[in-house]
């Protein structure tokens, strides 16, 4: 069923009798004084959108209001409808609707019915054979090989191309997708420019513009399974759901012919701003912020199995969309943000690839040995001395470690890299038992890297004759970051130095950020005991990950309490209570309402979009408070 809202309502509205129109005008006049002709037209049109006559049959308005749930609708969406675009500026629409007795404002930008819809919606999704009906199973066609004049076998995927070693590839899979490395969109024609000016006018709320842009972009790209997965995961991380709205159905060809480009885009869109995001004021537009949080080692490890080769796929999809937004001038007010996000993708191509590899390589053999000997997290690696000679060593991977071998590795490292004071502890004041004396969870950033020089590397090779597990090592110097990992911790200039194998250290870089457990023992060794995450220099902790884990938990306390009140008392009584509260009457919460289980740590604090377009300063919670209470994946 097509959206009646985005179609031309002129005929339907004009069927309203003059008596009804006069009655509405008189009612509105009583509420807000005498109405002008323009105000009467605006109220009449918008009330029709929400009316019992239209709403049960209007797929688009049902999707916006969620039917009986009576969700508030952004006024910017209403003014973007074809019949409403002529009323400029938008402020006259808001002033007129304040005089309506049928509609009410929930805040400065959102309206809804005063009484929720009580009629069951009539819009149902049709099942049409050949369209969305289940397809009948068909026998797979087997293509016969083509023989060239010279006797060679030609490929079925293209003329004159030898058959590849990938028989599963089809002609469709080999077609141009728009994600090729050197792909460029064709120039915008004058007609397309005029169309873009209408679709992406800044008079339209950002929500509508970004949803339209995503739909039109998707229609101009050929998504395969991997690119679709990346794009949808990225959208979800940024607060945009990739699924059809409720109450939407198939659109007929006749209905399409009555729509303009903007109306078609809205009707066909499958990506929409999540209701949890749109109906709160805790989200803001932050293109680089989303890129910094999404392009992390955790994303690659959890979504792709940890292959560093997949990083380029992620950055390619994101950069492709960013460039499309710039070319079509979708949101010129965020041009600088989009360019910054493109720069993040460029940096990720080499930094994120390294951090994904380091996530499995760190902390390295020396740090694991310190942990095993001192009773750290790797203590379970210790093996009995009777398990066989060097059974624990397996090329470059350790499957276990003898205590004597671990102690020899530590002593050798101290002799080659330690200070005189550190060597004296081993030579003169060495305790009978090595124990862990301190442990801290730190957020660190690499400040300097010291690779071994030729002389030190030669000494390591000589020492390796006695301990074949010993590898040349260098030093990594770090400083502590603040809770959000956006800068150094204020007033703390402590430098933490860690000894890392050269083969691993070569992949480390200045600015690299880590979340790690750092330990010390009674012989002066400091080591990386556990690595929670390793990330690029641009990485920052954002709350979008928590939103994905539990979307319901991101709703504020007031939402849960209000939903319970609605169920117990109904909308009408709730409206009266809110009016009394505005006059200064305090509304006390009952004990049962206070018992609603809500975890403060699950309320998000940032980034993708505050699509409510409030016009004021963004209200953003402190990510640090959430980070302290929510255990990070790692």
pLDDT tens string 262-287: 566 556 656 777 776 777 777 788 89
Asked, for residue 259, whether it belongs to a domain, the answer is yes
Let me know if residue 555 belongs to a domain: no
Which of 326, 359, 392 is where one domain is finished?
A: 359
Last residue of a domain, one of 56, 80, 113: 113
The domain boundary, picked from 497, 513, 544, lies at 544
- Residue whose C-alpha is closest to residue 396's, from 421, 361, 367, 427: 361
Identify the bridge partners of residue 111 per DSSP, sorted by sequence position: 73, 105
- Give yes or no: residues 249 and 333 share one domain: yes
pLDDT (0 to 100) of residue 141 = 44
Co-location of 301 and 221 in the same domain: yes
Residue-wise pLDDT for 212-246, tens only, equals: 888 888 888 877 788 888 898 888 888 887 765 55
Note whether residue 571 is domain-resident. no
Q: What's the confidence (pLDDT) of residue 123?
A: 67
185 within domain boundaries: no
Same domain, 231 and 355: yes
pLDDT for 519 equals 94
Does one domain contain both 419 and 516? yes
In angstroms, the CA 381 to CA 367 distance is 12
Report the length, in residues, of the chain: 634
Distance CA(34)–CA(152), nearest Å, equals 87
Whether residue 517 has pLDDT greater than 90: yes
Query: Lowest mean pLDDT: which of 27-31, 254-258, 352-356, 533-537?
Result: 27-31
pLDDT of residue 577: 52
Asked whether residue 90 falls in the same domain as residue 61, the answer is yes
- So what's the pLDDT on residue 569? 64
Write the CA distances from 337 to 288, 322, 508, integer angstroms.
6, 10, 28
- Residue 17's pLDDT is 36
Mean per-residue pLDDT, 528-537: 93
Q: Are residues 305 and 407 located together in one domain of the fold?
A: no
What is the domain range of residue 427?
365-382+401-544
Tell whether the model's pLDDT for residue 136 goes beyond 90.
no
Highest mean pLDDT among 288-302, 469-483, 593-607: 469-483
Better-predicted residue by pLDDT, 49 or 11: 49
216 in any annotated domain: yes
Joined tokens for residue 332:
């010129």
Q: How many domains does the chain have?
A: 3
Q: Determine, yes or no, domain membership for 281.
A: yes
What pLDDT is recorded for position 248?
Answer: 53
Phi, psi (degrees; rounded to nearest 5) at 443:
-105, 120
Q: How confident is the model at residue 425 (pLDDT cuts 50, 70, 90)?
A: confident
Do 347 and 375 fall within a single domain?
no
CA distance 610 to 601: 20
| 465 and 339 in a common domain | no
Q: Answer yes or no: do 329 and 412 share one domain.
A: no
Residue 462 lies in a domain: yes
Q: Rounded mean pLDDT of 43-69?
A: 86
Domain shared by 202 and 311, yes or no: yes
Query: Do residue 215 and residue 338 come from a single domain?
Result: yes
Q: Which residues contact 23 (CB under 8 A, 6 or more apart)?
A: none
**Closest-CA residue to 469 (of 524, 395, 414):** 395
CA–CA gap between residue 420 and residue 414 (Å, rounded) = 9
Cβ–Cβ < 8 Å for 513, 537:
yes
Domain assignment present for residue 279? The answer is yes
Give how far Cα 227 sits from Cα of 66, 114, 184, 308, Å: 31, 44, 17, 16
Q: Are residues 407 and 278 in the same domain?
A: no
Kindly indicate the confidence band of residue 192, based on its pLDDT and cuts at 50, 70 and 90: confident
Q: What is the mean pLDDT of the chain?
A: 73
């Amino acid at each position: 069923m097509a959206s009646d809202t985005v179609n031309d309502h002129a005929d339907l509205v004009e069927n309203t009798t003059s008596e009804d129109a006069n009655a509405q005008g008189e009612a509105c006049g009583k509420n807000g004084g005498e109405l002008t002709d323009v105000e009467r037209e605006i109220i009449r049109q918008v009330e029709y959108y929400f009316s019992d006559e239209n709403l049960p049959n209007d797929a688009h308005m049902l999707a916006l209001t969620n039917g009986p749930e009576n969700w508030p609708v952004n006024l910017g969406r209403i003014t973007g409808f074809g019949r409403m675009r002529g009323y400029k500026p938008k402020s006259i629409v808001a002033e007129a609707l304040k005089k309506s007795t049928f509609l009410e404002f929930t805040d400065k930008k959102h309206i809804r019915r005063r009484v929720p819809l009580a009629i069951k919606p009539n819009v149902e999704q049709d099942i049409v054979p050949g369209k969305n009906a289940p397809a009948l199973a068909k026998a797979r066609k087997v293509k016969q090989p083509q023989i060239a004049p010279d006797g060679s076998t030609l490929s079925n995927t293209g003329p004159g191309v030898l058959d590849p070693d990938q028989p599963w590839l089809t002609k469709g899979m080999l077609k141009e997708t728009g994600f090729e490395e050197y792909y460029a969109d064709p120039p915008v024609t004058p007609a397309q420019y005029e169309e873009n000016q209408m679709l992406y006018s800044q008079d339209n709320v950002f929500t509508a513009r970004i949803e339209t842009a995503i739909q039109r972009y998707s229609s101009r790209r050929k998504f395969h399974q991997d690119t679709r997965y990346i794009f949808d995961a990225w959208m979800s991380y940024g607060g945009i759901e990739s699924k059809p709205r409720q109450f939407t159905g198939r659109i007929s060809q006749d209905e399409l012919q009555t729509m303009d480009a903007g109306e078609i885009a809205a009707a066909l869109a499958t990506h929409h701003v999540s209701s949890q995001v749109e109906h709160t004021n805790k989200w803001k537009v932050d293109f680089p912020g989303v890129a910094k949080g999404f392009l992390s080692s955790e994303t690659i490890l959890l979504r792709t199995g940890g292959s560093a080769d997949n990083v380029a796929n992620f950055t390619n999809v994101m950069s492709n969309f960013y460039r499309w937004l710039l070319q079509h001038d979708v949101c010129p007010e965020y041009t600088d943000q989009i360019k910054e996000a493109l720069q993040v993708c460029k940096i990720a191509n080499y930094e994120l690839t390294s951090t994904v590899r380091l996530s499995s390589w760190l902390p390295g053999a020396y740090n694991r040995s310190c942990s095993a000997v001192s009773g750290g997290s790797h203590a379970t690696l210790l093996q009995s001395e009777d398990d066989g000679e060097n059974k624990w060593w397996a090329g470059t991977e350790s499957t276990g470690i003898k205590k004597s071998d671990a102690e020899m590795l530590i002593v050798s490292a101290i002799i080659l890299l330690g200070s005189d004071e550190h060597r004296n502890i081993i030579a003169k004041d060495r305790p009978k038992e090595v124990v862990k004396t301190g442990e801290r969870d730190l957020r660190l950033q690499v400040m300097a890297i010291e690779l071994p020089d030729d002389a030190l590397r030669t000494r390591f090779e000589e020492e390796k004759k006695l301990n074949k597990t010993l590898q040349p090592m260098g030093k990594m110097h770090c400083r502590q970051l603040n809770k959000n990992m956006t800068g150094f911790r204020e007033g703390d200039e402590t430098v933490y130095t860690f000894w890392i194998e050269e083969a691993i250290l070569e992949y480390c870089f200045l600015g690299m950020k880590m979340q790690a457990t750092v330990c010390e023992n009674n012989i002066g060794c400091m080591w990386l005991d556990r690595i929670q995450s390793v990330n690029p220099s641009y990485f920052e902790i954002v709350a979008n990950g928590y939103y994905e884990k539990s979307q319901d938990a991101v709703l504020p306390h007031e939402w849960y309490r209000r939903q319970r009140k609605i169920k117990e008392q109904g909308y009408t009584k709730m409206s009266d209570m809110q009016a009394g509260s505005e006059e200064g009457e305090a509304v006390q919460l009952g004990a049962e309402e206070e018992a609603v289980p809500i975890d403060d740590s699950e309320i998000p604090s940032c980034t993708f979009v505050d699509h409510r377009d409030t016009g004021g300063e963004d209200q953003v919670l402190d990510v640090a408070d959430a980070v302290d209470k929510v255990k990070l994946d790692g």
